[in-house]
Amino acid sequence: MALPTDQRQSALDAECGADFEMRQRIEVLLIAHDEPDHFLDRTDGGFEMTSAHEISRANSASADLQAGKVISDRYVLREKIGEGGMGEVWVAKQTEPVKRRVALKFIKTGMDSKTVLARFEQERQALALMDHPNIAGVLDAGMTDGDQPFFVMELVHGLPLDQFCDEARLSLRERLELLIPICQAVQHAHQKGIVHRDLKPANVLVTMIDGKPIPKVIDFGVSKAIGGRLSEETLTQFGAVLGTLEYMSPEQAGFSGDDVDTRGDIYSLGVMMYEMLTGLRPIDKQRLQEAALSEVVRIICEEEPAKPSLRLSTDGGLPSAAAIRRTEPKKLMAMLSGELDWVVMKCLEKDRARRYDTVSGLAQDIERYLVDEPVKARPPSTGYRLQKFIKRHKGVVVAVGIFMLTLTVGVTSTTLWLFKALDAQREAENRLLQRKKSNEILLSVFANLNPQGAFAYSAPLNARLAKNLEQAAVELEGDEIDEPLVVAKMQDLLGTALVDLGRGTQGISLLQKAVATYTMELGPEHYDTLRSKSNLATAYRMAGEIDLAVSLHEKTFEVFVRKFGVEHALALTAMNNLAVACQAAGDFERAMSLYQELYEVQKRTLSPRDLVTLYTLHNLAGAYIRNHDLDQALLLEVEVVERCNEVLGPSHPHTIIAISTLADIYAEAGDFNQATGLAREATQRATEEFGTEHPVTLSCNAILGKVYQLAGDLDHALPLLKKTYELQVQRLGLVHPETLTSMRSLG
């Protein structure tokens, strides 16, 4: 590769001799080296202009492709937007059967060898198999009058992934969110039996649709069928290295094209993720371009790249990388260290058996990171790292082995030296990592206290958990944890759990501290800050501080809509929370409007069985009750009860609340037999599952008392309402909406 182009042929003659297959492999690698962005190289409209020497080698037939030329009687060429080593791309106007702008992709004139034609044929068939919103679709295919193959693709107006991320100054979280649909597109291709084999930022174009960035994976020109055969031309018979070197998996660089599978794409996605997070690549492009062929293969197949956080910490571009990602260098390093390092390095394992099994596995780990759940990826064990050390330094290990045989006395110290040489640098890093891990284990225990079933609400356990949580909050104040964000996360989880368990005052205090820390450390509009604010607003509502709840929910909702759009899951959750708060404040008209808008969006974007849709139906039914539209309320709540029993089970608190609400509707409608039966059922279930003093039980008792009262059974109604009111005053406070409702019922 270091030789001038005019000297390569003689060198190949000398090195390869009569070994035709070896020569073919090397020639293809040289093409990949010289033309790293082949076939669809970008110009400033999303593509890069082809070089002068490429233009000069086109023969006269390429001149036939000119603006205004009509292809197959229905495609009028407008302008060429890209050209590379394997073909060229034109914008064209399709005239029939529909009028639209499309992209026509032609094989490059003068390179119509059987191998190139096989690559083109495979690409055309591969794209035809796929139907995914994040894959550029193939619309048509054919031959020009000059027997030049082409196919028609969806025209994508966008920027390459890396350019879009940097120009839009996307944060680390936004970059990870953008990577998820890319993974989903590649997984779709894999399920169709297609391996891309040339994934890189230039082959993912990002366009804005309705204010949202939408990535499109393009150029499946080097894809390979996994299962059924698409084309068995000479495309891979020589183990040709296809793809761009910096993003190429070790198995692909090692001339084993017949053995490349979906995990090669996972490796390439790992390189892309590395670059999106740091602005750097695991292997420097210039180093590969300057290296000899054997050295290139050795680097790709053997050298372990530095993990992203370590690479960035030693690079002079850290300040600019942080600025482009809208954060500070220290915070960027903190976000990369640990889980994101693990996820990226799992993709980049040289041994593909140690990578993610599927692209979905990678996407799921990214999603886990984004919602603060533990990722599946883990740092490599000491034993595995020792094996890698021995493999990389065979000579040193052999020498040490001989030394150990001749000096038996030094066996222990020599062995320890090997481990120390491997682990000394990592020990300091892992000390902090272990502390973080222990905190994560603690956090996961607290997270499990979030009531999602009967056991979390049972009376004895309720009291014990609340006591333990309060004690943990006291200990947290004195703990010598020097990481504010770890403390804030614990405060957020502890506070939310305490509020759910009826300890509103203590919970609000912790949540206020968490919000203050998140705001100071991450900014007022960071995802973690907004999530904690939402939890605090809900706590205000449950504690009867309704005005504070409405105000804070309004602010978080406005930010979520502005940042993500109204159909984003975070915005929908914020809309629901605001509607609940408005309803608690007595603003039923606004609550009704919000619920109706929310339900319409959810019907378009979510499954009818989705729990979020289910909760919206329940809340909407409650709003209809307040507006005295009992027929509509009854229709909705019957459906809610049926689906809660089916999806959540009869013991879940939301199922019990739905039954109690249905009883309330029947009572308002005058059907006291139905109302009494349902209200008693809800109260009995709540008492058995949660105890007599839990907020869910008190709410059910209040409804049962109301049913008795409306039915004229005051002997049962008044004692029950009085007892419920007294407990609500103790547990919820005098100004809580449910306490006030019980007080009004008592007259």
Nearest by Cα to 525 from 557, 549, 551, 565? 557
Residues carrying an active site annotation: 198
Question: What would the two tokens of residue 213 be?
Answer: 């960035």
Question: 108-160: per-residue pLDDT in tens?
Answer: 655 544 555 565 566 566 667 788 999 987 777 777 887 777 878 888 888 99
Mean pLDDT score of the chain, rounded to an integer? 76
Count, residues in the chain: 747
* 164 plus 120 within the same structural domain: no
Helices assigned H by DSSP within 501-627:
504-522, 527-542, 546-564, 569-584, 588-605, 611-626
> Hey, is 216 helix, strand or coil?
strand
Nearest by Cα to 104 from 135, 47, 65, 133? 65
Look at residue 8 and tell me if it is in a domain.
no
d(CA 240, CA 259) in angstroms, rounded, equals 11
Look at residue 415 and tell me if it is in a domain.
yes
Does the pLDDT of residue 401 top 80, yes or no? no
The CATH number linked to 214 is 1.10.510.10
> CB under 8 Å, gap of 24 or more: what pairs does 633-640 form?
633/665, 634/662, 634/665, 634/666, 634/669, 637/661, 637/662, 637/665, 638/662, 640/614
Rounded to the nearest 10°, the torsion over CA 21, 24, 28, 33 is: 90
> Hey, is 195 helix, strand or coil?
strand
Mean of pLDDT values over 297-302: 87
Question: What would the two tokens of residue 401 be?
Answer: 């082995």
* 220 plus 116 within the same structural domain: no
Q: Tell me, what's the pLDDT at 399? A: 43
The CATH number linked to 139 is 3.30.200.20
Question: What would the two tokens of residue 582 be?
Answer: 């408005």
Q: Comparing 114 with 276, which gets the higher pLDDT?
A: 276
> Hey, is 491 helix, strand or coil?
helix
Question: 45-79: per-residue pLDDT in tens?
Answer: 332 332 233 333 344 445 578 899 999 899 999 99
* 370 plus 405 within the same structural domain: no
Dihedral sign from CA coordinates of 309, 314, 316, 319: positive
Look at residue 30 and tell me if it is in a domain.
yes
* 355 plus 498 within the same structural domain: no
> Hey, is 473 helix, strand or coil?
helix
Cβ–Cβ < 8 Å for 301, 259: no
* 165 plus 136 within the same structural domain: no
Helix (H) / strand (E) containing 205:
strand 204-209
Look at residue 620 and tell me if it is in a domain.
no
* 88 plus 187 within the same structural domain: no
Where a domain ends, among 343, 362, 381?
A: 381
Look at residue 734 and tell me if it is in a domain.
no
Read off φ and ψ for residue 238, nearest 5 degrees: -100, 10
Helix (H) / strand (E) containing 331:
helix 329-336
Q: How confident is the model at residue 224 (pLDDT cuts 50, 70, 90)?
A: very low
Helix (H) / strand (E) containing 208:
strand 204-209
Question: 629-651: per-residue pLDDT in tens?
Answer: 899 999 999 999 998 888 888 88
Look at residue 558 and tell me if it is in a domain.
no
* Domain encompassing residue 119: 22-154
* 396 plus 350 within the same structural domain: no
* 339 plus 218 within the same structural domain: yes
Tokens 């084999």 identify what position?
197
Where a domain ends, among 543, 575, 609?
A: 543
d(CA 43, CA 169) in angstroms, rounded, equals 21
* 175 plus 137 within the same structural domain: no
> Hey, is 107 helix, strand or coil?
strand
Question: 179-207: per-residue pLDDT in tens?
Answer: 999 999 999 988 888 888 889 998 899 98
What's the pTM value of the predicted model, to 2 decimals?
0.47
Read off φ and ψ for residue 374, nearest 5 degrees: -65, 135
Question: 336-357: per-residue pLDDT in tens?
Answer: 988 999 999 999 999 999 999 9
* 257 plus 403 within the same structural domain: no
d(CA 694, CA 686) in angstroms, rounded, equals 8
Tokens 């371009």 identify what position?
289
Q: Tell me, what's the pLDDT at 326? A: 94
> Residues 373-394, buried b or exposed e (16+ Cβ, 10 A)?
eebebebbeeeebbebbbeeee
Rounded to the nearest 10°, the torsion over CA 333, 338, 341, 346 is: 180
* 97 plus 196 within the same structural domain: no
Domain count, the chain: 4
d(CA 700, CA 706) in angstroms, rounded, equals 10
* 329 plus 226 within the same structural domain: yes
Where a domain ends, among 353, 381, 409?
A: 381
Look at residue 695 and tell me if it is in a domain.
no
Look at residue 666 and tell me if it is in a domain.
no
